[in-house]
Amino acid sequence: MSFATDSPVHSSSSDDFAALIDAELEVGSSGSSPDEQDNEEEEVDADSDNDDGDDEEDDSNDDLNDHRNKRCKTEKLDDLEGPQGSTSQGLIEEKLEVSLNKDTCSHPGSFGQMCILCGQRVDDESSVTFGYIHKGLRLGNDEIVRLRSTDMKNLLRHKKLYLVLDLDHTLLNSTQLNHLTAEEEYLKGQSDSLQDVSKGSLFMLEFMQMMTKLRPFVRTFLKEASEMFEMYIYTMGDRPYALEMAKLLDPKKEYFNGRVISRDDGTQKHQKGLDVVLGQDSAVVILDDTENAWTKHKDNLILMERYHFFASSCRQFGFDCKSLSQLKSDESEPDGALASILKILRQIHHIFFDELDSDLASRDVRQVLKTVRKEVLKNCKIVFSRVFPTKFQPENHLLWKMAEQLGATCSTETDSSVTHIVSMDAGTEKSRWAVKENKFLVHPRWIEAANFFWQKQPEENFPVSQTKNQ
């Protein structure tokens, strides 16, 4: 099958993709060459001439001349285009036809600077490496567009979108064994067996000198999300780490099927990008705890609340507090971050496929994300009090922008239409006004929590205290 004309991703599987590429290369390198087959035919003809005798010599010479003329034509093609290998006469003709088109080959992809279609040397710096699909594979921009388009059509037929999942602090939390505190030593005696990881959540990987804790609800999350999305792992960790984590999360290879992208596969240092994902940007949802990793794709991003199970994770982000492991606690399964986000993913999927009137192929999940996000704080009018630095333009502050993205209206002045005063000090003039006028007085974390959970949070859970110097 020609790589340029038939899609190697009919089943949306990178394993199938790699297998088809391998098959293509094997066809191109196996069997004898046309010259070897012609030499064998000449020997057969020569033996026949000797056996037929002088009476048939003239006829044999004519046949041999015809054969040589045909061979000469083949050799001229070989001289112009180079030798082509095949295993049958049909493949010889096919390869000769391809050789005539070498000069116009679009070079859709390459292995080791060799075009996977025509075999010529390719030095295309604009192509993108897809090493996680097949080691050494590079694809040109036109081929990436074609594959994405083909895979997109197949996915939409099955009512699926793409979901790109971060690992650390999103689906799990890992730490080096020598980073465990004295309060966490008990974890070594509670780790689950690696013989059947599907039944556990805490694993000690001694060969990596590491301990990993899966986030509560992650197995249910992956199972249910896989029915709506084709899923990728994308981590800033190295490839060996990424593959080991994939084994813990997907031991039966039901969800990712080789779609595991690490920092070794990215095209930009310290950045993640959808250029190495074989899915159209308009159909990709990203789940990650780090917004700055996706500077080019923030409209695709659902920002996750970080999962800090180990003490080293808290220290890494500058938190001077006890970790979940030190408190011998954990997130709630039914009410935790993954359970909340799964509800949002169901809503996004439903709107995309069942509520939009536009043609399916022209729909954009990024617009759906914006629509759903704007419903979170709809009908809320917010005034900030001593949250921003002096002389700082409030509309440029992250919290102001976040609140507007969540559908709230922000203002600098109080009036009867204001619903919330956001402050870190209950003693400010605007905070006292909120209490007097029976308005909500909430801490800035109220907005942050709504942003993480994509749901308006109970105001009473985010009280504001009066500072000591008031």
Percent of the chain with pLDDT over 90: 68
Q: Looking at per-residue confidence, does 188 or 467 come out higher? A: 188
CA distance 48 to 262: 63
- Sheet of 409-411: strand order equals 409-411, 381-385, 420-423, 440-442
The whole-angstrom distance between residue 208's C-alpha and the CA centroid of its chain comes to 25
Nearest to 408, CA basis, from 394, 426, 420, 397:
420
Among the residue ranges 11-15, 105-109, 305-309, 446-450, the one predicted with the least confidence is 11-15
pLDDT (0 to 100) of residue 103: 61
pLDDT at 123: 81
Top-confidence residue, 283 or 18? 283
Cα-Cα end-to-end distance for the chain: 77
Please give the domain boundaries of the chain with CATH numbers for all domains. 109-139 (no CATH), 161-352 (3.40.50.1000), 377-461 (3.40.50.10190)
- Average pLDDT of every residue of the chain: 84
Instruction: Convert the pLDDT of each residue in 428-461 to its tens digit.
Output: 999 999 999 999 999 999 999 999 999 999 999 9
Confidence label for 466 from pLDDT (cuts 50, 70 and 90)? confident
Contacts for 8 with CB less than 8 Å, ≥ 6 apart: 16, 17, 20, 21, 147
Q: In terms of residues, how long is the chain?
A: 470
Count of alpha carbons within 13 angstroms of residue 295, beta-carbon side: 5
φ/ψ of residue 176, rounded to 5? -70, 145
pLDDT digits (tens, 9 = 90+) for 165-218: 999 999 999 999 999 999 999 999 999 999 999 999 999 999 999 999 999 999
The pLDDT of residue 65 is above 70: no
